[in-house]
Chain A
Amino acid sequence: AQSVTQPDIHITVSEGASLELRCNYSYGATPYLFWYVQSPGQGLQLLLKYFSGDTLVQGIKGFEAEFKRSQSSFNLRKPSVHWSDAAEYFCAVGERGAQKLVFGQGTRLTINP
């Protein structure tokens, strides 16, 4: 069965600094991969997704992620964070031929002014 690991439970960065959130997955074939963001008290919003083609994926709000098959990773990056990026971020994997998603535990991002 597929699984997702987000090794960092909580990350703090300064406003304007670069950001990388880690995501590792376990799946036998090429997976569908997603990053969702959850602002406090809100539902989840899709940032970006990968299912084929270019391994560098651009998303909303200036985020990007790179699929690395050799490392089973799909890390999320942003060159310069804003205070409004403070939120919880979830990586998820979808199984080809199915509809279900499996989510990681989430990474809470705090931004220092």
Chain B
Amino acid sequence: DAEITQSPRHKITETGRQVTLACHQTWNHNNMFWYRQDLGHGLRLIHYSYGVHDTNKGEVSDGYSVSRSNTEDLPLTLESAASSQTSVYFCASSELAGAHETQYFGPGTRLLVL
């Protein structure tokens, strides 16, 4: 079955370190998204991509970057981790463009920045 996976599922890091969270989908979806989930805020969009070599900033993109070198993967990099980036991170994908399209979510990565 096609799926979307995230790794690692849990990560502890120190302030100032670079961290990369992986997201891999096997649906061949063009659109991929990264969200963070924090108590009281729901999910907030960090970055998104409509296809290979396309990336766009979301609502809370400061301190994060993404690159899209193939259809299947959209890694999220925290350039210099900060305690404010302690959160649960979700990757999602959708097949077609348009806000009515269903997004399919990965299981999440729980990140703790000490």
Residues on A close to B: CB < 8 A? Answer: 4, 6, 32, 34, 36, 41-46, 49, 51, 90, 92, 94-106
Contact = CB atoms under 8 A, between A and B. Distances in A.
Contact of B102 (A43, A49, A96, A105): A49
A49 B100 contact: yes
A101 B102 contact: no
Contact of A99 (B43, B101, B107): B101
B100 A43 contact: no
Contacts of B101: 99
Interface string B27-48: 0000100010000111111001
A43 B107 contact: yes
Contacts of B44: 103
A42 B107 contact: yes
Contacts of A98: 99
Given A51-B100, A95-B99, A99-B99, A44 B90 contact: yes
A90 B100 CA distance: 16
B42 A104 contact: yes
Interface string B86-102: 00001010100111111
Interface residues of B, number: 27
Contact of B99 (A32, A45, A46, A90): A32
B31 A90 contact: no
B108 to A, nearest CB: 6
Contacts of B107: 41-43
A106 B42 contact: yes
Contact of B108 (A43, A92, A95, A96): A43
A95 B100 CA distance: 8
A100 B108 contact: no
A90 B106 CA distance: 16
A4 B45 CA distance: 14
A90 B42 contact: yes
A13 B17 CA distance: 44
Contacts of B108: 41-43
B8 interface: no
B23 to A, nearest CB: 11
Given A49-B100, A94-B100, A100 B43 contact: no
